Amino acid sequence: MSHGTQIFSNAWLHNNPAWIQLLGLCPLLAVSTSVVNALGLSLATALVMVGASSSIAMLRRWIPDFARLPCFVLIIATFTTAAMLLLQAFAFELYLSIALFVQIIVTNCMILSRAESFASRQSLGTSVIDALGTALGFAIALLLLGAFRELLGSGTLFAGMSQLFGPSAQAWQLDLLTEDWQIRLLSLPPGAFLSAGLLLAGANALINRISRSSTEQTESAGDDAPQNQGQT
């Protein structure tokens, strides 16, 4: 595996921000009521993530150690504001429903942690790869939760995609479950915690099984075992 792909798969899989590092859970829980909300926030987060990481990697020689955090936060806030403006310009209806959670991307510790632990120490190229991987990992978790909660909570999938892709996307909506089969709880805040817990448990079970079978195969309790210790 080349260095680049190693960084990328580390970022989105082995150190997934949502289910391994448990970072950025606030927007994850709040916005995952539908696929379109999840997608909107994923895109906004990805923009901030890549913008902030690449800028920090670019400017890292200029950022003095004593003013490190203010500089990082300023750069992240800049890209968050930019993401808000872009969202208002190109997906106004979606902006109205997720505005608050786009604003608090500033305080998303996932982005700050990548800035501090990766982008400020690495070159521009590897930082962009790492940022893309982290954003992808976050998007996967968010979309999985969004789809799960939209399907079981309101019985649809891809409802309201026209907010993001224009009127032609109205036909994408799938009505899969009738009212009798819907679990209203899942679209409410407690449902967010329940489904996030299930996602976490599922992902950890899968990772444990994979790492166990790979150690059995190679019989070397390895240096290449995924680092899946959680941190909050």
Side chain identity, residue 117: S
Please identify which residue in 81, 173, 204, 228 interacts with other proteins, judged by CB under 8 A: 81
* 197 CB neighbour count, 10 Å cutoff: 10
- Nearest approach in angstroms of CB 66 to other proteins is 7
Please identify which residue in 79, 118, 138, 158 interacts with other proteins, judged by CB under 8 A: 79
Give yes or no for residue 170 binding other proteins (CB under 8 A): no
Q: Of 189 and 230, which has the nearer Cβ to other proteins?
A: 189
The residue range among 92-100, 176-184, 207-215, 220-228 that interacts with other proteins, by the rule CB under 8 A, is: 92-100
Report, in angstroms and rounded to the nearest whole number, the Rg of the chain calculated over CA atoms: 19
Measured CA to CA, the distance from residue 121 to residue 108 in angstroms comes to 20
Q: Of 99 and 171, which has the nearer Cβ to other proteins?
A: 99
Give yes or no for residue 104 binding other proteins (CB under 8 A): no
Give yes or no for residue 148 binding other proteins (CB under 8 A): no
Q: Of 133 and 191, which has the nearer Cβ to other proteins?
A: 191
Measured CA to CA, the distance from residue 28 to residue 108 in angstroms comes to 10
Measured CA to CA, the distance from residue 212 to residue 27 in angstroms comes to 32
Please identify which residue in 55, 120, 122, 126 interacts with other proteins, judged by CB under 8 A: 55
Give exposure, 118-156, as e/b (b: 16+ Cβ within 10 Å): bbbebeeebbbbbbbbbbbbbbbbbbbbbbbbbbbbbbb
- Nearest approach in angstroms of CB 183 to other proteins is 16
DSSP state of 65: G
What are the CA-CA distances from residue 163 to residues 36, 167, 187, 229 (Å)? 8, 8, 19, 38
Give yes or no for residue 66 binding other proteins (CB under 8 A): yes
- Nearest approach in angstroms of CB 230 to other proteins is 26
Name the token pair of 156.
């649809």
Nearest to 73 by CA among 21, 26, 111: 111
Give yes or no for residue 182 binding other proteins (CB under 8 A): no
Give yes or no for residue 138 binding other proteins (CB under 8 A): no
Give yes or no for residue 31 binding other proteins (CB under 8 A): yes
Q: Which residues bind other proteins (CB under 8 A)?
A: 30-31, 33, 51, 55, 59, 62-64, 66-67, 70-71, 74-75, 77-79, 81-82, 85-86, 88-90, 92-93, 96-101, 189
